């Protein structure tokens, strides 16, 4: 099956079964449950029990594993396991591994057995990242061009569900069900996707078993396609404004005297719910309005999201003001994330979809994470409003990039060369 089907093929192919859509939605949601529990909820739990900032910083380092997953993405494209299905086998292995790791974590004390728990956290992060590689490869292969908007809407929404449940809800119920209760609940939710995978039969993809040298060669061959340098500029700069603005949101609320559980409710639960709605809505309308118009509109909305964070930065930190600002930020940021993910999928080759998509994602995320760290550091020198002014300027730059570089035309060149 071609990742870039012709219009005739698109018209003749039957619609993807609803069970497959449910599987994609489930996998994109459960991949984040354990990781967000560790990075968000466990940080608050450990800090409450007196853990030092050195311990907290170690937990945040777990997030660095995801951008590094490009290093083993070609292995996922190259190797399969018998008749279990190329990507399905990887998904079964990693999904079941996450369930086992979450069950194991619950058997230790979060403070007294931190070294063991941290090792299991690293295992969970590696499994989660590998699951995402396989899932992106499957999605790139399964989804027709007209379906990718909705598919990537589900992807962005799934990440928000993981943040909302793993980070927000678990932090709220932790006083009631405790550490083991939280980990077992997350393991049970993650296991739902395992059951769905057992009932799924993956199509056979031709031309997948290439030489390892060719698979790793995609790291530089991908950028030889016409327009790739312009596309790299878009990858790096289009999403960075919102990430830079987000870097000061938590410090603003903490400085205003907000409790951690209150921040978790507003940011991780309500904010994520708003972002989930925005991602799914963008995915549904993307194919109707076209990639170009969607990307331009999302860039403008991203600027509005950055400006929303200025509300608490200016001292308006009442519950109503903060809630509206956070909801606006998530509503206006996630359309850009959904559109960019769709365009990344459009540029993935049929022979190495997981590698190509992961290569683009990793480069974009590394730059975003670097700018997020820079935003927090810059706040010490230029203040929160200074960082938000920089973010607004970057958002304006993203708008200009859409019109000057025309990412839709870059995509058209890629499709032509693929055929």
- Distance, in Å, from the CA atom of 17 to the CA atom of 120, rounded to the nearest integer, reads 36
Per-residue confidence at 398, pLDDT binned at 50, 70, 90?
very high
Whether pLDDT at 10 is above 50 = no
Whether pLDDT at 412 is above 70 = no
| pLDDT tens digits, one per residue of 144-160 | 888 999 899 999 999 88
pLDDT for residue 14: 60
pLDDT for residue 3: 39
- Cβ contact 100:163 at 8 Å: no
Alpha helices, H only, 314-352:
319-346
> What is the mean pLDDT of the segment spanning 313-326?
93
- Distance, in Å, from the CA atom of 93 to the CA atom of 75, rounded to the nearest integer, reads 14
- Distance, in Å, from the CA atom of 167 to the CA atom of 169, rounded to the nearest integer, reads 6
* Closest residue by Cα to residue 243 from 385, 401, 364: 364
| pLDDT tens digits, one per residue of 333-359 | 999 999 999 999 988 888 888 899 999
Whether pLDDT at 405 is above 80 = no
């Amino acid at each position: 099956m071609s990742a870039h089907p012709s219009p005739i093929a698109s018209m003749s192919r039957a619609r993807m079964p609803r069970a497959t859509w449910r599987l994609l939605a489930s996998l994109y949601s459960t991949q984040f449950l354990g990781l967000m529990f560790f990075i968000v909820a466990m940080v608050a739990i450990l800090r409450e029990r007196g853990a030092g900032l050195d311990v907290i910083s170690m937990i945040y380092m777990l997030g660095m594993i995801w951008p590094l997953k490009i290093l083993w993405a070609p292995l996922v494209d190259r190797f399969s396991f018998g008749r279990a299905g190329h990507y399905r086998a990887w998904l079964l292995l990693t999904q079941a591994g996450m369930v086992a790791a979450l069950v194991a974590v619950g058997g230790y004390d979060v403070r007294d057995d931190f070294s063991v728990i941290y090792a299991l956290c690293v295992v969970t992060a590696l499994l989660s990242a590998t699951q995402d590689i396989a899932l992106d490869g499957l999605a790139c292969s399964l989804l027709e061009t007209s379906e990718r908007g909705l598919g990537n809407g589900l992807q962005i929404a799934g990440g928000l569900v993981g943040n909302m449940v793993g980070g927000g809800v678990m932090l709220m119920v932790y006083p009631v069900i405790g550490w083991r209760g939280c980990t077992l609940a997350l393991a049970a939710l993650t296991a739902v996707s395992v059951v769905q995978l057992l009932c799924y039969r993956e199509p056979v993809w031709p031309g997948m078993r290439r030489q390892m040298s060719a698979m790793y060669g995609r790291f530089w061959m991908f950028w030889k396609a016409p327009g790739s340098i312009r596309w790299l500029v878009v990858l790096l700069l289009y999403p960075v404004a919102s990430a830079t603005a987000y870097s000061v949101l938590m410090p603003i609320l903490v400085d205003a005297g907000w409790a951690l559980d209150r921040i978790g409710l507003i940011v991780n639960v309500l904010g994520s719910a708003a972002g989930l709605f925005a991602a799914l809505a963008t995915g549904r309308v993307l194919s109707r309005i076209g990639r170009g118009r969607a990307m331009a509109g999302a860039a403008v909305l991203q600027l509005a999201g950055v400006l929303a964070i200025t509300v608490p930065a200016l001292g308006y930190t009442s519950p109503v003001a903060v809630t509206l600002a956070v909801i606006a930020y998530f509503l206006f940021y996630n359309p850009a994330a959904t559109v960019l993910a769709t365009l990344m999928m459009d540029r993935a080759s049929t022979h190495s979809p997981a590698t190509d998509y992961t290569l683009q994602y990793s480069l974009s995320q590394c730059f975003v994470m670097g700018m997020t760290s820079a935003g927090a550091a810059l706040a010490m020198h230029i203040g929160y409003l200074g960082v938000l002014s920089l973010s607004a300027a970057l958002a304006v730059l993203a708008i200009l990039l859409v019109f000057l570089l025309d990412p839709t035309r870059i995509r058209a060149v890629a499709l032509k060369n693929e055929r």
